[in-house]
């Protein structure tokens, strides 16, 4: 805790960080535990998440707001996924060796995102692999840049960008299937 | 122009919709999480977790990487050189005395031997005396002493041993200026922690250098996954900067190593401008309160061939 505090510049930031830590440490542990199923590993994920938070404290405006809770949730999830992958010796599903960005012309996700397909969209996001979901959450919900996302995921900005496009492609495939199966509109 | 504006607006709408859907999904996930007080009843943070925090507090995270001043370097060098000189004189006197005593004490044993046997024993003794320093145990405490002096401690990795006149704070290396490493004298191992490079001679086309960190302690250790690469130039170690600096997060990533376990870490060589002819490189690993190094060099086909031929002739 005090290590984290030493990395923060102003008293205001330290106060904010302390508040977040006190208020959400258990919540963060629970989120990590749900993914990892191991209390000890969940603690590791919490430590990593709070360390990461010290560098993105500017994203937190109000400690009590739901936005803060969601932001923490995304960070913890991404750290837990990282730990899970390392322990299993797995490569992220979104990084099958190649760093090629999928052809932009084949990115038709926007065509499937319509008000009519909103319910399908929700169900596909809920089914989406967490590794892809956190990329979306960082990008769209927390408005983070590729470089910021790369820093949080411990990968290069290029790989962060690749992961983002792969996540889009995966969501598109899921929506395609869903829409085709239920007679929705493209 | 108007068409492109329209398209942008449509994309914005879709992005908003995706954002809204993601938010809704997060809300749903959140709805399954019990309140803090309930989780607190389910889980108490472990002693290890707290100890980890305390240790981080004590060491203030990474061992400090401060920049050594030239004056400080020379002063340290003089201090270390003087200490070693005194140590050599004292140990020489003690060793001389001990040798005399042992010779006079063992004369009786040699009395019954044939001259040929005595010759053999004498040769064996000489061999043992010559080998002794390399077999002495490693001292793990004093690995952070600065500014390399020429003499090498037993068990300690070879160090930068430039004299004060030859040491510059920075040198030209592969077209850029690199700085003197903060710690000149580092060890490869202590009694409980060991670092080992996958091969002392690395192929020039190798993608990475693997460093194995072994924990022989009874408690877990924590080390930083991000290692430094240093090169030996004119007897002093200099920090080789990576082409792409690690992010702060990468740099601060701590790895926990359980007792009796070993873990491999890699230095990816494409991230460095390297001089394959350099005398020696070393990978520096930072741990809580400890800095260790493991040395290697790149293969030099001509020199290695010459060496092999020389050995064959001998």
pLDDT digits (tens, 9 = 90+) for B15-25: 888 999 999 99
Instruction: Summarize the confidence of residues B51-68 as an average pLDDT.
Output: 45
Query: What is the separation of C-alpha A29 from the centre of its chain, rounded to a whole number of angstroms?
Result: 16
**What's residue B91's pLDDT?**
77
Q: What are the residue ranges spanned by the domains of chain A?
A: 1-65, 99-186
Nearest Cα of chain B lies from the Cα of A127 at a distance, in angstroms, of 10
Return the top range by mean pLDDT from A148-152, A178-182, B281-285. Answer: B281-285
Partner A contacted by B44 (CB < 8 A): no
pLDDT band at B137 (very low <50, low <70, confident <90, very high): very low
Q: Of B277, B165, B265, B288, whose CA–CA distance to B232 is shortest?
A: B277
**What's residue A67's pLDDT?**
93
- Round to whole Å and give the CA distance between A51 and A152: 10
- Round to whole Å and give the CA distance between A56 and B56: 21
Instruction: Summarize the confidence of residues B39-60 as an average pLDDT.
Output: 69
Q: Do A29 and B43 touch (CB under 8 A)?
A: yes
Query: Which pair of structure tokens corresponds to residue A61?
Result: 């405006």
Which of A48-62, B153-167, B276-290 comes out lowest in average pLDDT?
A: B153-167
Instruction: Summarize the confidence of residues A32-53 as an average pLDDT.
Output: 90
Instruction: Summarize the confidence of residues A38-52 as an average pLDDT.
Output: 89
Which of A87-91, A174-178, B117-121 comes out lowest in average pLDDT?
A: B117-121
Instruction: Summarize the confidence of residues B78-87 as an average pLDDT.
Output: 70
Residue B160, pLDDT > 70, answer no
- A-chain CB neighbours of B24 within 8 Å are 122
**What's residue B187's pLDDT?**
84
Pick from B17, B29, B33: CB nearest A118: B17
Instruction: Summarize the confidence of residues A41-48 as an average pLDDT.
Output: 90
Residue B122, pLDDT > 60, answer no
Partner A contacted by B129 (CB < 8 A): no
Partner A contacted by B18 (CB < 8 A): yes
Partner A contacted by B251 (CB < 8 A): no
Task: Please indicate whether residue B53 or residue B22 has the higher confidence score (pLDDT).
Answer: B22
pLDDT band at B72 (very low <50, low <70, confident <90, very high): very low
Residue B104, pLDDT > 60, answer no
Instruction: Summarize the confidence of residues A37-50 as an average pLDDT.
Output: 90
Q: What is the ipTM of this complex?
A: 0.86
Task: Please indicate whether residue B195 or residue B59 has the higher confidence score (pLDDT).
Answer: B195
CATH architecture of the domain with residue range A99-186: Orthogonal Bundle (1.10)
Strands B201-202 and B290-298: parallel
Return the top range by mean pLDDT from A129-133, B45-49, B222-226. Answer: A129-133
Beta bridge partners of residue B213, listed in sequence order: B195, B263
Residue A27, pLDDT > 80, answer yes
**What's residue A64's pLDDT?**
92
Percent of chain A with pLDDT over 90: 34
Q: Are B142 and B278 in contact (CB under 8 A)?
A: no
Cα angle for residues B15, B17, B23 (degrees, 5° grid): 105
Residue of B nearest to A53 (CA): B249
- Round to whole Å and give the CA distance between B59 and B286: 12
**What's residue A2's pLDDT?**
52
Which of A13-22, A68-77, B265-274 comes out lowest in average pLDDT?
A: A13-22
pLDDT band at B106 (very low <50, low <70, confident <90, very high): very low
- A-chain CB neighbours of B21 within 8 Å are 118, 121-122, 125
The model's pLDDT over A122-171, given as tens digits with 9 standing for 90+, comes to 999 999 999 999 999 999 999 998 888 988 888 888 888 888 888 888 99
As a dihedral over the C-alpha atoms of residue B284, residue B287, residue B292, residue B298, rounded to 10 degrees, the angle is -30
Q: Do A39 and B14 touch (CB under 8 A)?
A: no
What does the mean pLDDT of chain B come to? Answer: 71
- Round to whole Å and give the CA distance between A97 and A110: 27
Nearest Cα of chain A lies from the Cα of B150 at a distance, in angstroms, of 37
Task: Please indicate whether residue A13 or residue B37 has the higher confidence score (pLDDT).
Answer: B37
């Amino acid at each position: 805790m005090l290590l984290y505090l030493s990395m923060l510049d102003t008293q205001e930031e330290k106060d904010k960080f302390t508040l977040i830590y006190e208020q959400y440490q258990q919540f963060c542990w629970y989120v990590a535990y749900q993914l990892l199923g191991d209390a000890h590993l969940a603690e590791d994920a919490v430590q990593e998440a709070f360390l990461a938070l010290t560098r993105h404290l500017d994203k937190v405006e109000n400690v009590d707001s739901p936005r803060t809770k969601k932001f923490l949730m995304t960070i913890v999830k991404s750290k837990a996924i990282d730990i899970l992958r390392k322990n299993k010796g797995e490569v992220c599903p979104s990084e099958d060796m190649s760093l090629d960005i999928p052809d932009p012309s084949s990115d038709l996700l926007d065509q499937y995102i319509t008000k009519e397909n909103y319910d399908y969209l929700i169900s596909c996001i809920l089914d989406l692999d967490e590794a892809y979901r956190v990329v979306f959450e960082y990008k769209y919900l927390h408005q983070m840049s590729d470089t910021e996302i790369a820093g949080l995921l411990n990968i290069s900005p290029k790989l962060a960008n690749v992961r983002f496009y792969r996540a889009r492609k995966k969501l598109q495939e899921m929506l395609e299937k869903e829409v085709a199966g239920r007679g929705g509109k493209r | 122009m108007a068409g492109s504006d329209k398209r942008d607006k449509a994309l914005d709408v879709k992005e908003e919709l995706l954002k809204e859907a993601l938010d809704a999904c997060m809300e749903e996930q959140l709805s399954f999480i019990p309140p803090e007080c309930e989780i607190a009843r389910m889980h108490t943070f472990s002693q290890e977790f707290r100890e980890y925090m305390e240790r981080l507090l004590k060491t203030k995270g990474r061992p400090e990487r401060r920049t050594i001043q030239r004056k400080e370097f020379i002063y340290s060098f003089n201090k270390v050189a003087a200490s070693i000189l005194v140590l050599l004189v004292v140990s020489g006197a003690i060793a001389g005395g001990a040798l005399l005593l042992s010779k006079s004490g063992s004369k009786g044993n040699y009395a019954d031997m044939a001259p040929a046997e005595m010759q053999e024993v004498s040769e064996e003794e000489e061999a043992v005396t010559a080998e002794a320093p390399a077999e002495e145990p490693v001292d793990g405490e004093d690995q952070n002493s600065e500014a390399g002096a020429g003499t090498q401690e037993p068990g300690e990795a070879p160090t930068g041993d430039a004299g004060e006149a030859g040491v510059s704070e920075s040198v030209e290396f592969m077209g850029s200026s690199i700085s003197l490493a903060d710690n000149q004298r580092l060890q490869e191992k202590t009694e409980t922690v060991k670092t080992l490079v996958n091969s002392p001679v690395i192929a020039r086309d190798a993608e990475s250098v693997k460093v194995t960190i072994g924990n022989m302690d009874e408690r877990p250790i924590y080390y930083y996954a991000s290692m430094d690469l240093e090169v030996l130039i004119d007897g002093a170690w200099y920090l080789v900067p990576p082409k792409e600096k690690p992010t702060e997060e990468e740099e601060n990533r701590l790895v926990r190593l359980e007792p009796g376990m070993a873990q491999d870490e890699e230095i990816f060589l494409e991230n460095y401008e390297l001089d394959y002819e350099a005398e020696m490189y070393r990978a520096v690993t930072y741990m809580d309160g400890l800095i260790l190094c493991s040395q290697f060099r790149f293969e030099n086909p001509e020199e290695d061939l010459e060496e092999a031929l020389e050995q064959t002739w001998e």
